[in-house]
Amino acid sequence: MKYIVKSKKTVDQAATDFEAAVSRNGFGVLHTYDLKATLNSKGIPFSNEIRIFEICNPVRASEVLAADMEMNLALPCRVSVYEQDGSTLFGMISPSAMLSMLSDAPGLNEVANQVESSIKTMIQEAK
């Protein structure tokens, strides 16, 4: 259910490269969270870098919603770029696994597989 890939880049460089890959692959970044900065600003010391990207492809999102409107609860897709034990990692919850647990709407699995394939391509391009 989790897809995690190691990178030799810093979190900053991997995040920058991921953003470019998202655009090249027909998706958009809706929002980026800097979780370390957010926690630190709330007085919670946290040292690991974590960037969480909310990404979306409008065509695929509309297909998901047309198949099952309740799947708005699972949108947009999230990809994390983070550091753990001295390594930079990319991670996501598999869209196909998540949506298959939440809905049995016809055609949804095919769309989820296409989205998952696209996101894996983006991660591979950015790592």
Task: Report domain extents, the chain.
Answer: 2-120
pLDDT, averaged in runs of 10, over the chain (127 residues) = 97 98 97 97 97 97 95 96 97 93 91 96 98
pLDDT value of residue 56: 97
pLDDT for the residue 80:
98
Predicted pLDDT at 60 = 95
State the fold for domain 2-120: TATA-Binding Protein (3.30.310)
Which residues, including other chains, have CB under 8 Å from residue 5's CB and lie 6 or more apart?
89, 90, 91, 123, 124, 127
pLDDT of residue 66: 94
